[in-house]
């Protein structure tokens, strides 16, 4: 997965609650067998009209947000389906971190597995950052993961992240390889477990 | 040992190794996963990852592949997919299952159906299991006493390669259902009432245990409806303590243990319950007697109201953010505040999905439709949850009831629940739907979804508008 240390760039506000993964990545972009080509699908119906032309009023289509790296979002972002395509598409669009109050569980795990940083801060801090993100003069942020800080001008907003998740993000770890280092432990567990509940062993 | 919840017991019993020095919620463990179910649209990149890294599947017999999301549901079944993308996914899925030694129910298989309907009816999911699978409604298996939760594609790949997940412990919530449901009120209304109460993220970060006499009184299929849809309240894992009804449900299922192994299993399963003094991080109580048939009016499953009520007025909502979200929902749904919900006309009626397309659901809907016709201008579709459900329904003549009422009697699949195949709403069409998500565009761009129980969908189809099913039941 993509490593994350310090990233800077514009932030865009998407304040609606419950932005679900159907909105982030509509079904017509789920027909592939690889991860490619998903940037067009990301927020498709918000970004493009029925004829496929960009909607000029949608924030990510406006020139001041052309290089957007961060989203400042409403509560329960990423709810709904487990489709990881939503995370792949956001990253292909250039999004590296998302700031909000709460994120849906499967989406959060998918983000962690791909190096998309989700930052949960309180409602007042989200409101402050959303105001900045909405202002083209002040919408540039920097996120310093080692220091666990969001920086915007003079403002510094600290955030929490579980140490193991932070470490994995900074190092861009391959989780499967790490787990397979413990293959013998898994095998021993499995033998014990199936001996105790033999009906699970078939 | 201090008293533990059933969730704690299952996580402790499946912990292969601790990954940090924490305990309790947030602690990360390497968690053993008993079973998974795979589908054609969230698994391809996981298999590609295995192929690229030269990795094998750790325990192929613990996985089951089912084609369900992209296949057509036209009454005449063939192996043709409606588009090249879907065809490619189905072809690659078959190739992956073959190359990695995984059993596959493809579209022409007699046991094909929606994964969360197929796996329980096969006896593939048993009490005490932990099941992580690449679909959010994996929570369904909570009804069988198995902890079920959805995972994304990277975690599917991790599971396939290792039979484990790197897992962060959840907080625990218990939802206790007291009392008895009134006639005409169903398991679907229970779970919709819960989501309406706690909100679409009310259970985010929690594993939810359902308990209480109201749950015990429900059929196992009704319990599956509740566990299935609890994910729309954010639940990241759902469980119910298995009881005699679950053992009766599983007895004789093809993949359930037999003979002495069955007896040993039931003895173990009977111990699977939260300690009486176990402490949950959050407790919710619902009174079954107060629950009414509900319908959604918005674009999030928590935007629901009793069917006898009215479209709410955003101006009456004090919170500015919620007010804005409500206004947006009403604009999308083309509804005016104050409108009686029972006057909202529909053009489509859909009975299907992993939430509500089991045999008991079809019986309830058919009970309303017997001797009636759907209203002019309404197109009705029944998509059974599995091919087995379809055959069982036909054996008792339910197909005739639906067809005589004017419904299309179709083959199994996800169908109009997410409209990844050719079953789609046209822009602006309004659908009474027994599914689980009323998101914008979920059933087709511009389509408008009202979630409700299958009997309520049948009633709406007959009336041509949303209607309290109890009115029709009384006339029968
Ligand atoms: S029926 Fe709907 S919710 Fe269930 S698995 Fe299929 S698409 Fe998902």
- Tens of pLDDT, residues A153-189: 999 999 999 988 899 899 988 899 999 999 999 999 9
Q: Does ligand 1 come within 6 angstroms of the Cβ of B414? A: yes
The contacts of residue A178 (CB under 8 Å, 6+ apart) are: none
* B352 CA → ligand 1 middle, Å: 9
Per-residue model confidence as pLDDT tens digits over B150-186: 999 999 999 999 999 999 999 999 999 999 999 999 9
CATH number for the region B293-475 comes to 3.30.499.10
Cα–Cα dist B328/B336, whole Å: 12
B227 marked as part of a ligand binding site: no
Task: Tell me the average pLDDT of chain B.
Answer: 97
All CATH 3.30.499.10 domain ranges of chain B, comma separated, are: 6-284, 293-475
Contact B361, B434 (CB under 8 A): yes
Local structure of residue A82 (DSSP, 8 states): -
Whole-angstrom distance, CA of residue B357 vs CA of residue B57: 32
Q: Which helix (H) or strand (E) holds A71?
A: strand A70-73
ipTM of model: 0.94
Q: Report the 10 Å Cβ neighbour count for A146.
A: 10
Output the CA A110–ligand 1 centroid distance in Å: 19
Contact (Cβ atoms closer than 8 angstroms) between residue B14 and residue B31: yes
Question: A149 has which bridge partners?
Answer: A144, A158
Are A40 and A103 contained in the same domain? Answer: yes
Considering the domain architecture, whether residues A105 and A180 belong to the same structural domain is answered as no
Whether B129 and A200 lie within 8 Å, measured CB to CB: yes
Other beta carbons within 10 Å of A47: 18
Q: What is the 3-state secondary structure (H, E, C) of chain B?
A: CCCCCHHHHHHHHCEEEECCCCCCCCCEEEEECCEEEECCCCCHHHHHHHHHHCCCCCCHHHEEEECCCCCCCCCCCCCCCCCHHHHHHHHHHHHHHHHHCCEEECCCCCCCECHHHHHHHHCCCCCCCEEEECCHHHHHHHHHCCEEEECCHHHHHHHHHHCEEEEECCEEEEEEEECCCCCCCCHHHHHHHHHHHHCCCCCECEEEEEECHHHHCCCHHHHHHHHHHHHHHCECCEEECCCHHHHHHHCCCCCCCCHHHHHHHHHHHCCCCCCCCCCCCEEEEEEHHHCCCEEECCCCCCCEEECCCECCCHHHCCCHHHHHHHHHHHHHHCCCCCCEHHHCECCEEEECCCCCCCHHHHHHHHHHHCCCCCCCCCEEEECCCEHHHHHHHHHCCHHHHHHHHCEEECCCCCHHHCCCCCCCCCCCCEEEECCCCCCCCCCCCCCEEEECCHHHHHHHHHHCECCCHHHHHHHC
**pLDDT of A172:** 86
For residues A152 and A179, membership in a common domain is answered with no
Q: Domain check: are A130 and A145 in the same one?
A: yes
Long-range pairs for A44-47: beta carbons < 8 A, 24 or more residues apart? A45/B440, A45/B441, A45/B445
Under a CB-based contact definition with an 8 Å cutoff, are residues A7 and A96 in contact? yes
Whether chain B has a CB inside 8 Å of the CB on A32: the answer is yes
B420 lines ligand 1 (CB under 6 A): no
Q: For every one of its 202 residues, what pLDDT tens digit does chain A have, with 9 covering 90 and above?
A: 788 999 999 999 999 999 999 999 999 999 999 999 999 999 999 999 989 999 999 999 999 999 999 999 999 999 999 999 999 999 999 999 999 999 999 999 999 999 999 999 999 999 999 999 999 999 999 999 999 999 999 999 999 999 888 998 999 888 999 999 999 999 999 999 999 999 999 7
| B354 CB within 6 A, ligand 1 | yes
Answer whether residue B236 shows pLDDT above 80: yes
Q: Does B70 touch chain A if contact means CB atoms closer than 8 Å?
A: yes
Q: Do B30 and A79 touch (CB under 8 A)?
A: no
What range does the domain containing A71 cover?
6-171
Contact A84 B152 (CB under 8 A): yes
Domain B6-284 listed as CATH 3.30.499.10: yes
Bridge partners (DSSP) listed for residue B449: B431
Q: At what angle do helices A163-171 and A105-114 cross, to 10 degrees?
A: 40
Cβ-Cβ contacts under 8 Å, A176 against chain B? 49, 53, 55, 157-158, 161-162
CA-atom Rg of chain B in angstroms: 22
- Cα distances from A74 to residues A30, A42, A99, in angstroms, run 25, 17, 9
Same domain, A125 and A202: no
- Percent helix, strand, coil in chain A, to 5, is 40, 20, 40
**CATH code for the domain of A36:** 3.20.19.10
Residues A84 and A184 in one domain: no
In a domain, A106, yes or no: yes
3 state SS of A124: helix
Q: Under 8 Å CB-to-CB from B380, ≥6 apart: which residues?
A: B348, B349, B350, B351, B374, B402, B405, B406, B407, B408, B461
Distance from Cα B105 to the centre of ligand 1, integer Å: 16
Residues of chain B above pLDDT 90, percent:
97
Secondary structure class of A60 (helix, strand, coil): helix
User: Which is it for strands A6-14 and A140-144: parallel, antiparallel or unpaired?
Assistant: antiparallel
Average of per-residue pLDDT across B30-49: 97
- What pLDDT is recorded for position B347? 98
**How far apart, in whole angstroms, are the C-alpha atoms of residue B117 and residue B361?**
12
Give the residue from B226, B230, B238 showing the smallest Cα distance to B202: B230
Distance from residue B472's CA to the centre of ligand 1 (Å): 29
Tally of domains in chain A: 2
Per the annotation, does B414 bind a ligand?
yes
Domain identity same for A19 and A118? yes
Which atom number of ligand 1 is nearest to the Cα of residue B353?
Answer: 1
Chain B interface, mutation test: which of A82, A92, A107, A187, most B Cβ atoms within 10 Å?
A: A82
Burial of B356 (0-12, 13-18, 19+ CB in 10 A): buried
CA–CA gap between residue B411 and residue B391 (Å, rounded): 10
- Rounded-to-integer distance, Cα B429 and Cα B444, Å: 9
Higher pLDDT, A90 or B321: A90
Q: Is residue A186 part of a domain?
A: yes
Q: Is A1 a member of any domain? A: no
pLDDT bracket for residue B476 (50, 70, 90): low
Name the 3-class secondary structure at A115: coil
A81 and A143 co-located in one domain: yes
| Cβ–Cβ contact A34 with B under 8 A | yes
In chain B, which residue's Cα lies nearest the Cα of A31? B85
Identify whether residues A89 and A139 lie together within a single domain. Answer: yes
Q: In whole angstroms, give the CA distance from residue B472 to residue A136.
A: 57
Sign of the Cα torsion B9, B13, B15, B21 reads positive
Containing A100, the helix (H) or strand (E) segment is strand A97-100
The H or E element spanning position A14 is strand A6-14
Gap between the Cα atoms of B283 and A125, Å rounded: 29
């Amino acid at each position: 997965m993509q490593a994350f240390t310090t990233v800077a760039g514009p932030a865009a506000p998407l304040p609606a609650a419950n932005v679900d993964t159907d909105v982030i990545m509509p079904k017509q972009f789920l027909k592939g067998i690889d991860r490619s080509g998903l940037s067009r699908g990301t927020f498709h119906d918000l970004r493009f009209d029925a004829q496929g032309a960009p909607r000029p009023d949608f924030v990510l289509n406006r020139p001041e947000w052309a290089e957007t790296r961060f989203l400042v979002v409403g509560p329960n972002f990423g709810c709904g389906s487990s489709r990881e395509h939503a995370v792949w598409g956001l990253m292909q669009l250039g999004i590296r971190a998302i700031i909000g109050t709460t994120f849906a569980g499967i989406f959060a795990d998918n983000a962690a597995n791909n190096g998309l940083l989700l930052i949960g801060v309180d409602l007042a801090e989200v409101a402050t950052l959303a105001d900045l993100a909405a202002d083209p003069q002040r919408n540039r942020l920097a996120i310093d993961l080692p220091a666990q800080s969001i920086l915007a001008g003079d403002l510094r907003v600290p955030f929490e992240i579980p140490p193991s998740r932070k470490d994995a993000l900074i190092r861009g770890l391959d989780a499967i390889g790490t787990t397979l280092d413990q293959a013998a432990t898994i095998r021993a567990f499995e033998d014990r477990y199936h001996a105790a509940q033999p009906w699970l062993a078939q | 040992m201090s008293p533990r919840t059933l969730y704690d017991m299952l996580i402790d019993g499946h912990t292969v190794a601790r990954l940090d020095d924490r305990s309790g919620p947030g602690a990360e463990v390497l968690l053993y996963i008993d079973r998974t179910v795979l589908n054609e649209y969230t698994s391809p990149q996981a298999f590609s990852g295995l192929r690229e890294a030269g990795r094998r599947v750790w325990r192929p017999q613990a996985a089951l592949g089912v084609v369900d999301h992209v296949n057509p549901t036209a009454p005449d079944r063939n192996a043709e997919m409606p588009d090249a993308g879907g065809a490619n996914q189905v072809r690659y899925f078959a190739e992956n299952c073959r190359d990695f030694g995984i059993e596959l129910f493809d579209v022409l298989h007699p046991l094909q159906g929606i994964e969360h309907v197929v796996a329980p009816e096969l006896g593939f999911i048993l009490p005490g299991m932990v099941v992580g699978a690449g679909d959010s409604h994996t929570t369904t298996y909570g009804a069988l006493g198995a902890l079920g939760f959805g995972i994304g594609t990277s975690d599917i790949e991790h599971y396939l390669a290792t039979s484990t997940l790197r897992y962060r412990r959840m907080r625990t919530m218990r939802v206790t259902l007291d009392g008895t449901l009134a006639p005409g009120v169903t398991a679907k209304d229970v779970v919709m009432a819960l989501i309406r109460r706690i909100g679409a993220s009310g259970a985010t970060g929690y594993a939810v245990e359902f308990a209480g006499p109201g749950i015990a009184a429900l059929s196992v299929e009704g319990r599956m409806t509740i566990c299935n849809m609890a994910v729309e309240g954010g639940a990241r894992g759902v469980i119910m303590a298995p009881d005699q009804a679950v053992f009766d449900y599983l007895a004789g299922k093809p993949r359930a243990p037999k003979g002495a192994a069955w007896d040993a299993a039931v003895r173990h399963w009977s111990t699977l319950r939260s300690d009486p003094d176990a402490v949950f991080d959050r407790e919710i109580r619902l009174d079954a007697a107060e629950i009414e048939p509900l319908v959604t009016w918005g674009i999030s499953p928590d935007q629901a109201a009793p069917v006898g009520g009215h479209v709410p007025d955003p101006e009456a909502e004090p919170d500015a953010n919620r007010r804005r979200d409500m206004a947006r929902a009403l604009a999308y749904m083309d509804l005016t505040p104050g409108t009686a919900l029972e006057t909202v006309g529909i053009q489509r009626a859909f009975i299907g999905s992993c939430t509500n397309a089991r045999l008991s659901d079809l019986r309830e809907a058919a009970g309303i439709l017997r001797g009636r016709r759907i209203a002019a201008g309404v197109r009705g579709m029944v998509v059974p949850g599995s091919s087995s459900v379809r055959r069982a329904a036909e054996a008792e003549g339910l197909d005739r009831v639906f067809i005589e009422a004017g419904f299309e009697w179709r083959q199994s699949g996800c169908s109009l629940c997410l409209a990844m195949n050719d079953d789609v709403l046209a822009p602006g069409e309004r659908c009474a739907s027994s599914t689980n998500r009323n998101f914008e565009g979920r059933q087709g761009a511009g389509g408008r979804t009202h979630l409700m129980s299958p009997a309520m969908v049948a009633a709406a189809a007959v009336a041509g508008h949303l209607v309290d099913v109890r009115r029709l039941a009384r006339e029968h």
